[in-house]
Chains A and B, each alone.
Chain A
Amino acid sequence: MKKAIAILAFLIIFAFLILGAVEMRPFGEPEQEDMDDYFLGDSQPHNQVNNVVTAVLFDYRGLDTLGEATILFSAVVGVLTVLRETQKKGGEDV
């Protein structure tokens, strides 16, 4: 029974993946391309930056980068919380 459910789920997901691969647009032709010309043309005169990717990352979509940095910070806080140096076990030494 479990195996039948697993095979069924695999077949459904595989069918969806095949469907997505068949209906994929050709490489280099996205559906929405209204903002592309703006980013490509405006990043150099407005930001004085040669690398358009960096201009998008740190100026136009800066809030996303801020979220990424915050996620990394909270990951470090979680690691420090889990793996912090615990106090001495018991109190008999003190």
Chain B
Amino acid sequence: MNWKMSRIVRTVTDFLVVPIVIFGIYLILHGHLTPGGGFQGGAVVASATALLIIAYGTLGRHKKDLSTIEAIGLILFISIALLGIGSTMFYNFLAGTGGMFGGTVEGINSGYINTGGTVTLMNLAVGIEVSAALSLILWMMSKETGIMKPEKKTSKTESKEVEN
């Protein structure tokens, strides 16, 4: 069976995947300045994964990596939320303290990326979690329904069974 699509589709995919992923990362990292945020950026990155799956028919074997990345994102989110439990959960303890994420904004400004405190970090964590989760759902669905090429570790007996 022919798993790849035609050369035209693959070339256009090669040109389109990089801007889509960059736009998703932009949405995640600028979530505290512009419309967008972790969920939206993660969904955009996962749509790039869908494009790759449909065009090439394979993503390699990265299921465990995706599961691990998703769990890491969720744990990061919960632990950032719990770090501020001195006052309340989800307390923004980094805002205005200076340093990498603690810049201050006031009034009408053009937006600085080093502001936001824990909001920026939580955007990053949710973006990692959502992109890995939606990519994993797409990966599993496409592999089970025959869109994606099965892995090579199937032995000869299994392939004979499939042919029968």
- A residues contacting B by CB (< 8 A) are 44-51, 53-55, 57-59, 62-63, 65-66, 68-70, 72-73, 75-76, 79-80, 83, 88, 93
Contacts and interface: CB of A to CB of B under 8 A. Distances in A.
Contacts of A49: 32, 95, 105, 115-117, 119
Please report whether the interface of chain B is mostly helix, strand, loop or mixed according to DSSP. helix
Contacts of A47: 92, 95, 116-117, 119
Interface in B122-142: 122-123, 126, 129-130, 133-134, 136-137, 140-141
Interface residues of B, number: 47
A69 B123 CA distance: 12
Interface in B50-72: 67, 70-71
A94 B140 CA distance: 27
A54 B32 contact: yes
A48 B140 contact: no
Interface string B22-56: 00000000011111010100000000000000000
